Amino acid sequence: MAQTEAPRRVRTPEEVVLDREQALAEAREKFGLERPQLERRLADIRKEMDDLNGLLEHLKGPTMRQVLDNEHRLNSALSPVDSTDPNKAQEYEMWAKDLEENRGVMVQVKASLEERIKAKEDARLKLRIEQGDLEQRTQRGY
Protein backbone atom coordinates (compact mmCIF):
# COMPACT_ATOMS: atom_id res chain seq x y z
CA MET A 1 0.00 0.00 0.00
CA ALA A 2 1.47 3.34 -1.04
CA GLN A 3 1.86 6.01 1.58
CA THR A 4 0.65 9.41 0.69
CA GLU A 5 2.57 12.42 1.80
CA ALA A 6 0.85 15.08 3.73
CA PRO A 7 0.44 18.21 1.68
CA ARG A 8 3.20 20.70 2.35
CA ARG A 9 2.24 24.01 3.78
CA VAL A 10 3.28 26.93 1.61
CA ARG A 11 5.05 29.63 3.56
CA THR A 12 3.96 33.17 3.13
CA PRO A 13 6.42 35.83 1.99
CA GLU A 14 6.19 37.41 5.43
CA GLU A 15 7.28 34.16 7.07
CA VAL A 16 10.23 33.87 4.69
CA VAL A 17 11.32 37.43 5.47
CA LEU A 18 10.99 36.82 9.22
CA ASP A 19 13.09 33.64 8.96
CA ARG A 20 15.79 35.48 7.03
CA GLU A 21 15.82 38.35 9.51
CA GLN A 22 16.10 35.90 12.40
CA ALA A 23 18.99 34.06 10.69
CA LEU A 24 20.74 37.39 10.07
CA ALA A 25 20.27 38.46 13.68
CA GLU A 26 21.72 35.14 14.88
CA ALA A 27 24.69 35.53 12.55
CA ARG A 28 25.34 39.07 13.82
CA GLU A 29 25.11 37.90 17.43
CA LYS A 30 27.56 35.08 16.73
CA PHE A 31 29.85 37.55 14.94
CA GLY A 32 29.78 39.83 17.97
CA LEU A 33 31.28 36.99 20.00
CA GLU A 34 33.86 36.17 17.31
CA ARG A 35 34.90 39.74 16.53
CA PRO A 36 37.70 40.00 19.14
CA GLN A 37 39.18 36.75 17.83
CA LEU A 38 39.00 38.00 14.25
CA GLU A 39 40.65 41.29 15.16
CA ARG A 40 43.39 39.43 17.04
CA ARG A 41 43.99 37.19 14.02
CA LEU A 42 44.13 40.24 11.74
CA ALA A 43 46.78 41.78 13.99
CA ASP A 44 48.73 38.50 13.91
CA ILE A 45 48.49 38.38 10.12
CA ARG A 46 49.80 41.95 9.83
CA LYS A 47 52.78 41.05 12.04
CA GLU A 48 53.45 37.85 10.05
CA MET A 49 53.23 39.86 6.81
CA ASP A 50 55.76 42.39 8.12
CA ASP A 51 58.09 39.56 9.14
CA LEU A 52 57.73 37.83 5.76
CA ASN A 53 58.29 41.07 3.88
CA GLY A 54 61.48 41.73 5.84
CA LEU A 55 62.71 38.18 5.30
CA LEU A 56 61.92 38.30 1.59
CA GLU A 57 63.71 41.63 1.27
CA HIS A 58 66.77 40.08 2.92
CA LEU A 59 66.62 36.88 0.84
CA LYS A 60 66.18 38.73 -2.44
CA GLY A 61 68.71 41.42 -1.54
CA PRO A 62 71.92 40.71 0.36
CA THR A 63 71.60 36.92 0.46
CA MET A 64 70.95 36.57 -3.27
CA ARG A 65 73.68 39.12 -3.98
CA GLN A 66 76.17 37.03 -2.01
CA VAL A 67 75.18 33.87 -3.89
CA LEU A 68 75.45 35.63 -7.26
CA ASP A 69 78.83 37.13 -6.33
CA ASN A 70 80.14 33.69 -5.35
CA GLU A 71 78.75 32.22 -8.54
CA HIS A 72 80.45 34.92 -10.61
CA ARG A 73 83.73 34.43 -8.73
CA LEU A 74 83.65 30.71 -9.51
CA ASN A 75 82.69 31.21 -13.14
CA SER A 76 85.51 33.67 -13.72
CA ALA A 77 88.15 31.80 -11.71
CA LEU A 78 91.64 31.66 -13.18
CA SER A 79 93.86 28.73 -12.46
CA PRO A 80 96.76 29.44 -10.10
CA VAL A 81 98.48 26.47 -11.76
CA ASP A 82 100.00 26.63 -15.23
CA SER A 83 97.92 24.18 -17.28
CA THR A 84 100.64 23.92 -19.94
CA ASP A 85 103.30 22.71 -17.51
CA PRO A 86 103.40 18.89 -17.77
CA ASN A 87 104.83 18.63 -14.25
CA LYS A 88 101.77 20.38 -12.84
CA ALA A 89 99.12 18.48 -14.83
CA GLN A 90 97.86 16.52 -11.81
CA GLU A 91 97.66 19.66 -9.68
CA TYR A 92 95.76 21.44 -12.45
CA GLU A 93 93.34 18.49 -12.80
CA MET A 94 92.62 18.62 -9.05
CA TRP A 95 92.02 22.38 -9.22
CA ALA A 96 89.65 21.97 -12.18
CA LYS A 97 87.77 19.15 -10.43
CA ASP A 98 87.38 21.21 -7.23
CA LEU A 99 86.19 24.18 -9.28
CA GLU A 100 83.48 22.07 -10.96
CA GLU A 101 82.35 20.66 -7.62
CA ASN A 102 82.10 24.18 -6.19
CA ARG A 103 80.11 25.32 -9.21
CA GLY A 104 77.70 22.42 -8.67
CA VAL A 105 77.32 23.34 -5.01
CA MET A 106 76.63 26.99 -5.95
CA VAL A 107 73.93 25.87 -8.39
CA GLN A 108 72.31 23.88 -5.57
CA VAL A 109 72.60 26.78 -3.13
CA LYS A 110 71.05 29.17 -5.63
CA ALA A 111 68.20 26.74 -6.40
CA SER A 112 67.58 26.24 -2.68
CA LEU A 113 67.47 29.99 -2.10
CA GLU A 114 65.04 30.43 -4.99
CA GLU A 115 62.82 27.69 -3.51
CA ARG A 116 62.87 29.42 -0.11
CA ILE A 117 61.92 32.72 -1.73
CA LYS A 118 59.06 31.04 -3.64
CA ALA A 119 57.80 29.34 -0.45
CA LYS A 120 57.84 32.64 1.46
CA GLU A 121 56.02 34.40 -1.39
CA ASP A 122 53.38 31.64 -1.39
CA ALA A 123 52.98 31.99 2.39
CA ARG A 124 52.60 35.75 1.97
CA LEU A 125 49.93 35.25 -0.69
CA LYS A 126 47.96 32.88 1.57
CA LEU A 127 48.14 35.42 4.39
CA ARG A 128 46.90 38.18 2.07
CA ILE A 129 43.93 36.04 1.05
CA GLU A 130 43.11 35.23 4.67
CA GLN A 131 43.52 38.89 5.61
CA GLY A 132 41.13 39.94 2.84
CA ASP A 133 38.53 37.40 3.94
CA LEU A 134 38.74 38.50 7.58
CA GLU A 135 38.59 42.18 6.68
CA GLN A 136 35.49 41.52 4.58
CA ARG A 137 33.83 39.70 7.47
CA THR A 138 34.60 42.49 9.92
CA GLN A 139 33.30 45.12 7.51
CA ARG A 140 30.09 43.19 6.85
CA GLY A 141 29.52 42.66 10.53
CA TYR A 142 28.62 38.98 10.28
Is residue 19 domain-resident?
no
Angle between helix 89-140 and 64-75 (nearest 10)? 160
Q: What is the rounded CA–CA span in Å between residue 49 and residue 119?
A: 14
What predicted TM-score, i.e. pTM, was given to this entire model? 0.69
User: Length of the chain, please?
Assistant: 142
Whether the pLDDT of residue 35 is over 90: the answer is no
Give the count of domains, the chain: 1
Over residues 85-95, the mean pLDDT reads 88
Is residue 116 domain-resident?
yes
140 vs 67, residue with greater confidence: 67
The DSSP H or E segment spanning 112 is helix 89-140
pLDDT at residue number 5: 67
pLDDT at residue number 67: 95
Whether the pLDDT of residue 27 is over 90: the answer is no
Domain of residue 89 covers 54-142
